[in-house]
Amino acid sequence: MDANRLSDITAFVTAVKAGSFTAAAEILGVTRSGVGKGIARLEAALGVRLLHRTTRRLSPTDEGQLVFERYRQILEDLDEVSASMAQRRASPSGTLRLTAPLSFGQRHILPLLDSYLKQWPALRADISFNDRFIDLVEEGFDIAVRIGMDDDDSGLLSKTIAWQQFVTCATPDYIERHGAPAGPADIEAHHRIALGNARRSRPWEFEGAQGALRIDGPARVYIDSSEAVRAAALGGFGLVNLPTYIVGPDIRAGALIEVLADFRCRPEPIRLLYPSKRHLSPRVRSFIDLVAERWGAGVPWEQSGA
């Protein structure tokens, strides 16, 4: 679209909104005749009459109303692009309030925040790493890291940044002593380290030829910290079922060996959630951009040497 056509469209949309050529001319800072000539050129280009003109007021024809609605949306979209680019150019300021699950936040969000704050020295951060559900809008957070799909995310924007994959693993020494389970049913004969406590623990989920499988029987050891569960696994206590963002580097290093790989359940999304706004603040946009840049070639727990 050339500049003259855009100018004629702007004159037409402004005139319809303002109700007269004179009012449109004042808004646009041009002459009344300039507005009229622009609309006349637009009518000639489209081959239709766009306006009913009277001495007091103008109104769109049926065709003019259709054209007005389309052109109004185009101009609003152009304004949106300009505003978004202006937001991106602006330097982040204020305080970024972010929440994430405890282990994931400490392992993988904290290093990003370190880089983020070094890049923008004027910024501050207010961070909550815990595993409770946080209402972003009610508690005033800018961004939340959520793992899995929630039913209560309506009204929030979402960007998937990675995937959580649970794996079952143990040390080579444990497997040498006890053997590797051939299927989920064999887990009952092993020392199982469960995340949680004897009253409530996270079940181990698998997928087989018969569909979903769940192991939720008594465990040998219950621990309420995923990091402590990992430490117990490395200590040779038994089998654990943890996300690769926790044990991935240990498996690549050979400190832990994955078992039951053929029975892995489907991965779950790891997402950034943020309140829906017409324009994202520079501090939110710049953090999202940083995550995309750093993890574009692969998440840290899947990269060799991580």
Give the domains, in start order, of the chain with CATH numbers: 3-89 (1.10.10.10), 95-165+268-302 (3.40.190.10), 166-263 (3.40.190.10)
How far is Cα 175 from Cα 172, in angstroms, rounded to an integer?
5
For residue 149, is pLDDT > 60? yes
Report the percentage of the chain scoring pLDDT > 90. Answer: 64
For residue 291, is pLDDT > 90? yes
Contacts 24+ apart (CB under 8 A), 50-59: 50/12, 51/12, 51/15, 51/16, 57/19, 57/20, 58/15, 58/16, 58/19, 58/20, 58/21, 59/16
Number of residues in the chain: 306
Predicted pLDDT at 230? 97
Predicted pLDDT at 196? 92
Higher pLDDT, 92 or 117: 117
For residue 86, is pLDDT > 90? no
Predicted pLDDT at 282? 87
How far is Cα 35 from Cα 223, in angstroms, rounded to an integer?
74
Q: Of 131, 149, 166, give the one whose Cα is nearest residue 246.
A: 166
Q: For strand 95-100 and strand 143-147, is the pairing parallel, antiparallel, or unpaired?
A: parallel
122: how many CB neighbours lie within 10 A of its CB? Answer: 9
Structure tokens at 195: 């995340």
How far is Cα 83 from Cα 189, in angstroms, rounded to an integer?
62
Higher pLDDT, 174 or 275: 174
For residue 112, is pLDDT > 90? yes
| pTM exceeds 0.85 | no
Phi, psi of 109 (to 5 degrees): -90, -35
Predicted pLDDT at 306? 43
Please compute the mean of the pLDDT values over residues 213-234 and round it to a whole number.
94
Residue 66 contacts residue 12 (beta carbons within 8 Å) = no
Predicted pLDDT at 75? 86
For residue 87, is pLDDT > 60? no
User: Confidence band (pLDDT; 50, 70, 90) for 78?
Assistant: confident
pLDDT tens-digit readout, 27-70: 999 999 999 999 999 999 999 999 987 766 788 999 999 999 99
In angstroms, what is the C-alpha Rg of the chain?
29
CB contact burial 134-156 (16+ within 10 A = b; e otherwise): eebeeeebbbbbbbeeeeeeeeb
Predicted pLDDT at 58? 85
pLDDT tens-digit readout, 228-258: 999 999 999 999 999 999 999 999 999 999 9
Contacts 24+ apart (CB under 8 A), 59-64: 59/16, 60/16, 64/16
Please compute the mean of the pLDDT values over residues 111-130 and round it to a whole number.
93
Predicted pLDDT at 222? 96
